[in-house]
Amino acid sequence: MARFENLSLRPSSLSQVVGQDLIVNALAKGLAQDNIPPAFLFYGIRGVGKTTLARILACSFACTNPVNGEACGTCRSCKIFKTGSHLDVLELDAASRTGVDDVREIISACQYTPVIGRNKVFIIDEIHMLSKSAFNALLKTLEEPPTHVKFIFATTEVNKVPDTVMSRCLAYNLRPLPLSVLSKHLMSIAEKDVFMLSQDASELIADEAGGSVRDALSLLKQAVLLSRNVTAEVVTSIVGSANPRDIKNLLKLITDGKVYDASICVKGMLSEGADAVSVYKQLQKELYSQIIETVSKNDKGVLTRLLYLWQILLKQSENINSATYPDCVLGAVVIMLAHAADFPDIRAIINNTNLNKSVIDDVLTQFPKSIVIPVE
């Protein structure tokens, strides 16, 4: 029988929240000092902990016996909060309830003192979806909120939240989790829930999730359902991405100019179930990492060549996205790249001939632009 206890668990205290250390520390400090503003706003991409933090705060604000400002977990308010039917904590999804009447309902509820908890708490998710009149109605209450009322807003599109509302909130930007943090988190879940997860597989999931914990956990669940020994191959079969180790190897073959080997390497990835468009994106990312690494080493010769490969990849990316046969486009581009990596630098050769500039320019026009490496 599979055990997914930790895989399915949403953090219920600040100390369990992963990857948002600065924000968690600031919130813990504010709670401990009872320095609580009337409104909070959490913003960032999906699955980085906005709703989780909103619920942790809501439970703490409602708790009648807080410990260092945080929910005690045992009082009546905390127990009822866990059931999801706390009369003083109201959650509104602005994506489905955008109108002024929905907000008026909240405003009129603000007048009453809490029934079970210490405060009344209103969580409004995707607040950017509220209509203009709804925002205006909310603003009046935000300007002079009753002391027993707290607002917690969350949004994925902070640029759509009016400045007037923003300025009334303590706003926190929840950033996507770094790959290493997310991967480590997945490894710790595997350990607790007793299933195997290889380092490659956890990195592949973290990378695919783009820093979103929710997306990463969802992928991990799918993988564990397929096999309790989650390898990079298992993840590849779900997401279509190739093993990061194979991508590194492919780029090495390309930059070494090994056209045939690079071509075979791509063929192998595709036959193992990797998706051509995903591989293309992974290759772009890997090349970018290598460019950044080369910049730090200040190796101008290598950098020029890598940037040249980057230009080719960028130029062809539209083609792969719209291709009827993306596998063929990927294969052809890899051959093109490996060939290009091996081209002599025509400009450098001609420059060494001591010809004057107009003659050099004239000679260069005789070559297709794609094989003249751009000037540094």
Binding site for Zn ion (CB under 5 A): 63, 65, 71-72, 75, 78
Task: Kindly tell me which of 113 and 199 has the beta carbon lying closer to Zn ion.
Answer: 113
CB of 69 to Zn ion, least distance (A): 11
- Count other Cβ atoms within 10 Å, centred on residue 72: 16
Task: Kindly tell me which of 41 and 56 has the beta carbon lying closer to Zn ion.
Answer: 56
Q: Distance of CA 169 to CAs 37, 166, 207, Å?
A: 8, 5, 32
Q: Distance of CA 356 to CAs 163, 346, 365, 376, Å?
A: 60, 15, 15, 19
CB of 71 to Zn ion, least distance (A): 5
Task: Kindly tell me which of 106 and 121 has the beta carbon lying closer to Zn ion.
Answer: 121
SS3 173: strand
CB of 112 to Zn ion, least distance (A): 21
CB of 86 to Zn ion, least distance (A): 11
Task: Kindly tell me which of 17 and 75 has the beta carbon lying closer to Zn ion.
Answer: 75
CA distance 197 to 291: 30
- Tokens standing for residue 170: 């303590």
Q: CA-CA-CA-CA torsion for 81, 86, 88, 92, nearest 10 degrees?
A: 100
Task: Kindly tell me which of 85 and 356 has the beta carbon lying closer to Zn ion.
Answer: 85
CB of 18 to Zn ion, least distance (A): 23
CA distance 169 to 18: 23
CB of 29 to Zn ion, least distance (A): 20
CA distance 324 to 321: 9
Whether the CB-CB separation of 335 and 265 falls below 8 Å is answered with no
Pairing type for strands 170-173 and 229-230 reads: unpaired
Task: Kindly tell me which of 78 and 177 has the beta carbon lying closer to Zn ion.
Answer: 78
Task: Kindly tell me which of 65 and 108 has the beta carbon lying closer to Zn ion.
Answer: 65
CB of 113 to Zn ion, least distance (A): 18
SS3 285: helix
Whether the CB-CB separation of 86 and 77 falls below 8 Å is answered with yes
CA distance 178 to 19: 8
